[in-house]
Each structure stands twice: as C-alpha cells, then as structure tokens.
Amino acid sequence: MMAMRVSDNTRFDTMINNLFAVQDRYNQLMDKMSSQKNINRPSDDPPGMGRVMKYRETQAAVTSYTRNVDSANAWITMSESKLTSVNNLLVRAKEIALAQSSGTANALTREQAAVEIEQIFDEIKSLANSKYGDRYLFAGTKMDQAPFSSTASAATIGTALTADDNSFDGTVASGGSYSGSVNKTYAVKIVSSGAFGAATYQVSEDGGKNWGGVTTMPVGGNITLGDGIDLTFTAGTTDLTTNDIFYVHASAEGYYHGNGEELFVEIGKEITFSYSISGQSIFTDKGKGDVDIFATLENLKTALLNNAPNDVAAQIDNLDAAGKQVNKCIARCGAKANRLEVAENNLSDLYYKLTELISKTEDVDIADITTKFSMQQIVLQASYAMAARIGNISILDFLR
C-alpha cells in the first residue's frame, strides 16, 4: 500500500487541532472545577437544566409556604396564649359567682366582687382586642376598628361608604333597621353606567366576594340591600359609573364589631389554611358561638350590684358554657398548630430533598472531576511535549 503523503501543513494543522481539542476539554473541566457546577450553560445538559429550574421553582414555592406557615404559627400561638388568659379569667369569674351566690356572701362582698368582675370584663376586652402586628387577632377580616366595645350597642347600620376612585359624585345615605343576626358588610357595585333609572348594580352581602343578580337603579335612587338595610342615592354631576363601589357595615346588637370571616394563607400547592378564629365564635352567641361572654359578665356584675344571689347563680351555667366555648377555641388553635407543624416538617423535608436533587443534577462530583482534571492535565502536557518535538524532526537534520 502506498503510504499517504504527509505535507508539512498537515503535520502542523493536525497537531494544532489536536492541541486545541485537548485545551478545549481542559478548559471545560476547569470551568466545572471553578464553578463546581456541571451545568454552566443550558446546552451543557438541556434536560438537566429543565429539571433544575423545576426544582428551583418548587423550592421557591416551598420557601413561600414555609414563610406563610411561620407567620400563621405566630398568629395562632399568640391567639392561643390570649385565649388561655381569657379562660383563666373566666375560671376566676366563675369562682366569684359560686362564692357570691352562696348564703355566706352579703351585699358588701358582692359589691367588692362586682368591682373585680368589672376588672375581669376589662381585661378580657383588652385580650379580645389584641393585635398581632397591625392586625386584630379576633376581628375576622374587618380590621378598621377594634372588634370589641365596652358597652353593648343595638343593631346598627353604619354610614354608607364609597371607594376612593368612585366617579359618582352624588351622595349616598344608609337607612333602615338592621335585622341580620351577625355582622355583615354589604357592598353595591355599579355594573353599567348611567343615570338613575338606567344604571345597573349588583349587591353582595359578604363584602364583595359573591354578587347577586343585576338590577336597574330606580329613578328615585332608593334601593334595598337586604336584612333591612336601605341605601338612598342622590344624583350629583357625574352619573353612576361602572365599578363604582358603595358599602356599609352593619352590626347585630352586642359588643362585637368584627365579622365572622377567617383569614387564609396558602401552605401548600392549592392548600389554603385558615389561621384565624373570629371573635364572633369565641366571645359571642352568634354564628358558631353559644354564649355572649361580655353580656354574661355584664349580667353577673349587675346581679352582684343588685345583691341578687339568684341572679348571680343564674350566670354560673353561662360562665361554664363560656369556659367551654373558649376552651373549644383553644383546642381549635392547638389543632391548627398541629396541622402547621406537620406542614412545616413536610415542607422542610421537601426543601432538603429538593436541595439534594438540585445538587445531584447541577453540582460536580468533586472526586470525579478532580480525577478527570488531573488526567486531562497529563494529556495536555503530553500534547505540549509532542508539539515541541514534532516541529524539530525533519530530513534536514540528517543532511549535511
């Protein structure tokens, strides 16, 4: 077989190409060594890159969920401790009621007891108005005022309120007498713009979450929202306009001004978690509650001041029930805390698993890379040695 001619250019080009190839591999390894990552650009491992991004996304979500769990946990711990104090105060109130309903008590002790009950009332009120950060623990979702007042108010309909950006510049007034059993926020949204008689509106009795049917605004501007609430619109220069919002808070009679809603956060993919217990179910006889605690204490105080042992005794059952009601809520806090603990453990497990998966996919195996790197170093040295020598050998060395 005829040998292939090897021209000088071939010799040098081949050598240079091979040297470049070796240097390229060496540099790639060096990249990986210095970044400690297998994937330094998407093309290094496209499917791996996709997996890492998916893991990172999940990890970011897990971090958010964990933050939510932490803040919900703080909220619940705080609620629980406040409620435990309330419970202790109720136990004390019951002791007083028991003592003062017996024959050994007299008008003087009852009067002193009434003072203590009044203090208990104030303390429970201040516990019930506790805040976490800027938010009332027991107000439901209505945070614009302290949820509990010192005196019971009759059923009220608040003044009609308007959203800041409403276009309508006429006035709106609320009226009627509230017949609802719990506190509500009624909202009216204008669906299509127009003058009275033309514009249409919707009513929501849960603050704007769910909306009723679309109705035309009567020419007179009087509408009935429900539960006995009326609104009267008086036209201004600008007509009712789409998305104008009017709302009114209505309270049932009693000490509570919050609402029965709960607060939610997400603690997992599409897992919402209610972390609050509304004051309505803890302190009132409305919604899920059975006893109005403040009314009971107020009645007890009145009975003591009236020196009426039978009336005092009548409140013992109520105080019992109040204690049970608060304890039930403490138990709910405990259950919520447990649920959060489980969630937190799962999330932190998941977080570390994801970290491990990310690391497995994109981090280099140090032992492996170091070995490869040393090997490549030897190859590079060999290539340099060869390159240095190949240029030197020629027939010229042997001609004189």
Partner 1 sequence: MSGISALNIAKDSLISHQTAINTTGSNIANVNTTGYTRQRPVFTTNGTMDVAAGLVQMSVSIDQIERVYNRFLEAEINEQIQDFGYSETRKEQLQLIEIIFNETTGEGIDDLFNKFWGALEDLSSNPEGQPERVALLSAAESLTYLFRSFSSDLVAVQDDANAAISDLVTQVNGKLASIADLNEKIAQNETGTGDTNVLRDARTVLAKELAECIDIQYFEDSRGALNIFISNGLTLVESGNYYTLDVQANAGNSFYYDVVFTDNPGVSINKYITSGRLAGFMEIRDTTAAAYLNDLNMLAATLVQEVNVQHRLGYDLMSNVGGDFFDPSKTDARTIAVSAAIIGDINKIAASETVNGDGTNAMYVGRLKDALVLNGNTSTFNGYYSSFIGGIGEDVASANRICNHHTDLMNQLNIKRESISGVSVDEEMLNLIKYQTGYSAAAKLCSTVQELVDTLLGLV
Which residues ranging from 260 to 279 are in contact with partner 1 (CB under 8 A)?
A: 261, 263-266, 269-270, 272
For partner 1, which is the closer residue by CB, 50 or 220?
A: 50
Stretch 58-97 residues interacting with partner 1 (CB under 8 A): 60-61, 63-65, 67-68, 71-72
Distance of CA 184 to the CA centre of its chain: 22
- Asked whether position 163 contacts partner 1 by CB under 8 A, the answer is yes
* Binding residues for partner 1 restricted to 378-397, rule: CB under 8 A: 394-396
* Number of residues counted as binding partner 1 (CB under 8 A): 73
- Please state, in angstroms and rounded to a whole number, the distance separating the CA atoms of residues 46 and 333: 47
Helix (H) or strand (E) holding 172: strand 171-176
Query: Are the C-beta atoms of residues 380 and 22 closer than 8 Å to each other?
Result: yes
Is 31 near partner 1 (CB under 8 A)?
Answer: no
User: 267: closest CA among 10, 14, 72, 29?
Assistant: 72
**Of 62, 61, 57, which is closest to residue 347 (Cα–Cα)?**
62
What's the min distance (Å) between Cβ of 162 and partner 1?
Answer: 8
Show contacts with partner 1 in window 202-221 (CB under 8 A): 206-209
Indicate the residue among 273 and 294 with the shorter CB distance to partner 1.
Answer: 273
Nearer to partner 1, 98 or 143 (CB): 143
Question: From the list 19, 23, 44, 311, which residue makes contact with partner 1 (rule: CB under 8 A)?
Answer: 44
Could you tell me the smallest distance in angstroms from the CB atom of residue 166 to partner 1?
8
Please give the residues from 101 up to 160 whose contact with partner 1 meets the rule CB under 8 A: 133-135, 141-144
161 makes contact with partner 1 (CB under 8 A): yes
Binding mask 298-327 for partner 1 (x = CB under 8 A): ------------------------------
Positions 229 through 248 that interact with partner 1 (CB under 8 A): 243, 245, 247
Beta strands 161-162; 245-251: pairing state: antiparallel
Segment 325-364, which members bind partner 1 (CB under 8 A)? Answer: 362
Contacting range for partner 1; rule: CB under 8 A; set: 33-41, 99-107, 112-120, 280-288: 33-41
- What is the rounded radius of gyration, in angstroms, for the C-alpha atoms of the chain? 38
Q: How far is the CB of 389 from partner 1 (least distance, A)?
A: 16
d(CA 306, CA 310): 11
Task: Work out whether 197 is an interface residue with partner 1 (CB under 8 A).
Answer: no
User: Is the sign of the CA dihedral 124, 128, 132, 137 positive or negative?
Assistant: positive
**Under rule CB under 8 A, residue 45 binds partner 1:** yes
For 237-375, strand residue ranges (E) read 245-251, 254-256, 264-268, 271-274
**Could you say which of 17, 153, 348, 370 contacts partner 1 (CB under 8 A)?**
17
Q: Which is nearer to partner 1, 194 or 207 (CB)?
A: 207
Dig out the tokens for 285 from the structure: 């006889």
**Is the C-alpha dihedral spanning 327, 330, 336, 341 positive or negative?**
negative
Cβ contact 293:255 at 8 Å? no
Token pair belonging to 60: 């970011």
Q: Which of 274, 284, 330 is nearest to 79 (CA)?
A: 330
Q: How far is the CB of 53 from partner 1 (least distance, A)?
A: 4
- Among 40, 88, 202, 327, the residue binding partner 1 under the rule CB under 8 A is 40
For residues 158 and 207, give the distance between their C-alpha atoms in angstroms, rounded to a whole number: 14
CA distance 98 to 79: 28
